[in-house]
Structure 1
Amino acid sequence: MAIEVGSKLEGKVTGITHFGAFVELAEGVTGLVHISEIADNYVKDVNDHLKLDDKVTVKVINVDKDGKIGLSIKQTIEKPADAPRPERFNRFEGSRPSGSGAGERPSRPSGFGGAGGGDRGGRPGGDRGPRGDRGPRGGGFKNPAGKLTFEDKMSRFLKDSEERISSLKKSTESKRGGRGGRRD
């Protein structure tokens, strides 16, 4: 019987490595079950799932020109067609997909920040430091809701970034002897 992609065959585990297991098929042909094709869940150690001389059912997933055979154990396991898929987090909405049922978070109106309504530090208004309620240039550049606008946050970021870069340049130049300094 010829080994064809998509066929399910019986085999015996003949070798186990950190990256998968070698399975001997009919006619003495050996193929590799990669660690990612052993089980549906994460496989940290192949030895937790397979032992030498185990009889396994494998599916041929590829046959290379040089004779290497790629096998899969997890693709032989029948999954019920009506099994619910796990819900994925929608990073743009900050909630589960609409219609997901119980536990669904209400969507926020546009213009509101992340969790807690402030910046990542949990401080309200997106203020990151001792500047108080001042905007990036010292004037009060907040919208009526008391939040900094995107443009204000960007200009504050650019200003802080330029200050950090200039101080970094100063410190590295002083370590090298300044601009155009001689090295003896």
Structure 2
Amino acid sequence: MTLEVGNIVEGTVVNITNFGAFIDLNGKTGLVHISEVADTYVKDIKEFIKEGDKVKVKVLGIDANGKISLSIKQGVAIIPKRTTRPADVEWSGQDRKKSGGSNSFEDIMSKFMKESEEIMSDYKKKQEVRTKNRRS
């Protein structure tokens, strides 16, 4: 694959500095700035990568002097943070059989609305008490 902005290519970490890592891309060298190593704060880049590691990087830019800007965090596939369904609702219908009743969408929604109204009512009561205490 050619080195073009937006492409994801594989390279080898050849040098690590306090501001980033230099990546060999089949004879050309690019820089991954420390801010482009991970989605979290990176204090020590050596906690994330080491020399000799094979990494996938996204080409962010190539300037007129031939300097190549790279990103490791943009070079990996984005994994959704939420991979499970809510635990309160059993979507397979198994809990209908256990309870002996029907758990239609309307029933579930009605239960949700009732619980929400109760929670909001409690919240409003607490707010009123706080307001009265401040005025006293």
Q: TM-score, normalization: structure 1?
A: 0.44
Q: State the alpha-carbon separation in 2 of the partners of residues 39 and 57 from structure 1.
A: 12
Q: Is the 2:58–2:75 Cα contact (8 Å) retained in structure 1?
A: yes
Alpha-carbon shift at residue 3 of structure 1 (Å): 1.2
Which residue does the alignment assign to 1:50?
Answer: 49
Q: Which runs of 4+ in 1 moved over 6 A?
A: none
| Matching of residue 25 in structure 1 with residue 6 in structure 2 | no
Larger Rg belongs to = 1
Q: Is the 2:56–2:76 Cα contact (8 Å) retained in structure 1?
A: no
Residue type matched to 1:11 in 2? G
Report SS of the residue matched to 1:58: strand
Report SS of the residue matched to 1:79: coil
Report SS of the residue matched to 2:74: helix
Change (3 A) 1:47 1:65: same
Aligned pairs, how many? 97
Q: State the alpha-carbon separation in 2 of the partners of residues 2 and 63 from structure 1.
A: 12
Gaps of 5+ in 1: 85-100, 108-115, 118-123, 126-144, 147-184
Structure with greater helix percent: 2
Change (3 A) 1:64 1:52: same
- Residues 70-111 of structure 1: CA deviation (Å, up to 9, x unaligned): 101111221245848xxxxxxxxxxxxxxxx9x99x58xxxx
Cα root mean square deviation, aligned: 3.3
Q: State the alpha-carbon separation in 2 of the partners of residues 83 and 67 from structure 1.
A: 40
Using the aligned pairs only, state the percent identity. 48
Gaps of 5+ in 2: 84-115, 125-129
Alpha-carbon shift at residue 58 of structure 1 (Å): 0.8
Alpha-carbon shift at residue 9 of structure 1 (Å): 0.9
- Residues 52-78 of structure 1: CA deviation (Å, up to 9, x unaligned): 111111110111122111101111221
Listed as ranges, the matches of 1:129-168 within 5 Å are: 145=135
Report SS of the residue matched to 1:36: helix
